[in-house]
């Protein structure tokens, strides 16, 4: 195993026509990724319906995370939430003027 220092804010392009997804660590039951949004949202009418839990943390920027069966959450720097498996959710807004940098941890059941 090699040890390599990396920075979560490195290698982010100035313009992002699409959200940027970067895997940071992938193991059998855990996938850690960086997501960078620049005004990106979930397409209208689409909901994420994942078979695994997802914990997300906003490291920079801000966003609105909505749920089909719960109130929307306005998220800013430092806010985090655990989204249980099969919880229908979507991103309704991310700041178009500042990169919203998310740390997402996907946790699959053993």
What residues have CB less than 8 Å from 42, skipping those under 6 apart? Answer: 48, 90, 91, 92
Listed residue (50, 52, 48, 63) closest to 97, CA to CA: 63
Beta bridge partners of 35: 21, 102
* Domains of the chain, residue spans: 20-107
Would you say the pTM of this structure is higher than 0.75?
yes
Give the CATH superfamily of 20-107.
Answer: Jelly Rolls (2.60.120.10)
pLDDT digits (tens, 9 = 90+) for 19-71: 999 999 999 999 999 999 999 999 999 999 999 999 999 999 999 999 999 99
Q: In this structure, what token pair is assigned to residue 5?
A: 């220092």
Question: How many Å apart are CA 81 and CA 74, to the nearest integer?
Answer: 11
């Amino acid at each position: 195993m090699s040890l390599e220092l990396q920075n979560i804010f490195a290698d982010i392009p100035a313009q992002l026509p699409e959200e940027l997804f970067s895997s940071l660590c992938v193991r059998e039951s855990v996938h850690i990724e960086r997501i960078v949004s620049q005004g990106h949202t979930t397409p209208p009418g689409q909901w994420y319906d994942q078979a695994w839990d997802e914990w997300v943390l906003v490291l920079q920027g801000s966003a609105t995370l909505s749920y089909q069966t719960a109130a929307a959450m306005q998220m800013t720097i430092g806010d985090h939430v655990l989204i249980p498996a099969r919880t229908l959710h979507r991103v309704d807004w991310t700041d178009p003027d500042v990169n919203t940098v998310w740390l997402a941890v996907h946790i699959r059941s053993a």
